[in-house]
Structure 1
Amino acid sequence: MDVIFHGVRGSTPTADHNFLKYGGSTTCTEILHDQFQIIFDAGTGFQDVAILKDRPTYLIFSHFHYDHIQGLPFNHQIFDPSNKVTISSGLVKADELREVFVRAFQPMYFPIPLVDTLKNLKFVEFDLIVTDLSDLCSLSTIKLNHPGGAAGYIVKKDDKKVCVFLDHEYGLEPVIDNELVNNAKDSDLIVWDGMFLDEELPPKKGWGHSSIEQGIAFSEKTSCKSLAIAHHAPSRNDEQLNEHSNNLTSDKVFFAYQGLSHSV
């Protein structure tokens, strides 16, 4: 499996020469395999996803804050009726999910009624996708700690395991945190919400995000092979991220950047 980071910025996109290395697009993570394509979230990075016709394409949402949905209409390939995209979430039922996007992309906020226009977008229950993929891989969801709720995802293929835990606030809900640790044990890759530094956490308690240092600790607790720090703060520029990268205390932790493809 290849894990492709199309957007690694949190909260809002950035566009400035000081953000070129890590990128300014918001959250969108793709897991690509010869037999399937799974896309987690459609932040502005979704515009760069190549929707493939030769395998099933699934778009799965962790939650519906703007930085995770705002890129949906800006991938021109979804306007091709032959590109079938199955959409779901482990957080809500299919009807509620569909209504989220009906409301978000209606003429009051967007030029066209997107969902009614694009008949190739199919909203289904999460369990249906799990069943559809059962002969190809294992897909499961897990609860995250985030305002309004959020769902993390675990993909297993053969002896490989990838965990996508965006967005999550670590350290407030021990039951949730312990479940994440137990389910992420020995992962090949964990995608981690590292929006903050430890020193920035106290005034941001309850905002729904974790720190870089917590990601390092989580990588040790889970004995994972690699952990990718993502969901970078929109104000954290290349120079700052480079500095934090150079100061990492774990060889298996790295900072994801827009366009990175990581094989597992």
Structure 2
Amino acid sequence: MAYQNILTESKDRIQYITINREAKLNALNKETLEELHAALTAAFVDGQTGGIIITGAGTKAFVAGADISGFPALDAEGGKELARVGQTSVFDLIENGPKPVIAAVNGFALGGGLELAMACHIRVASDNAKMGLPELTLGLIPGYGGTQRLPKLVGKGKAMEMILTSDMLSADQALQHGLVNHVTPQADLLAKAEEILNKILQRAPLAVAAAINAVNAAGSPDGFEKEIAAFGNCFGTQDMKEGVDAFLNKRKPVFTGK
């Protein structure tokens, strides 16, 4: 598929997805979300891809928000459909995907941009990054999962403060509150994301997918049961047998994803 709003590149089992609307500070519009859905879906089923890094073009913005130019034409039902389609096709797709997705936050991550980063499994930010959910300044609330994911990362009190005031956090503040995993200089951002992802790629792929699924279930009524089921299912994989044998024989495991 030929993309107009994103760039994709595969290298050493990593799929790089760059939102390429630099003149618009990489704002998310309908077409960009559709392309993200297509690229993510393809990467998740590609046997040569082990993980994904999402970033934005340029040095100013990861994603500075949703493209709001079409908002005035929407009524209540249109707004609901906009949120539902976006959440299902991109944000939930990332969070529940079977392969690790890292957000390399290279500047502003506001509104839908922060929601995109929060849907990823791990976040690395450049030291110039600023993050926030300013939707209330537009008479809206976050609609791509922000009210659900932010409290899980920073706690309910801080999430309430960020959403209700629309204040932004600096990269260091985001790190302090657990919103991002690491902060690096801009020049080192992708290298740090690659370092983390390459370490994950040394682990058993089926176990990685199972761990993502189990961690996502944390706090749900059946979270412990999902962990038990996933743990048990690992015993039926060749990778588990390979990992245990490698450990017992003091050698490096060779995982095949089977």
**Shared fold, TM over 0.5:** no
More helix by share: 2
Pair member with larger Rg: 2
TM-score (norm 1): 0.30
TM-score (norm 2): 0.31
Q: Which has the higher contact order (CA 8 A, sep 6+)?
A: 1
More strand by share: 1
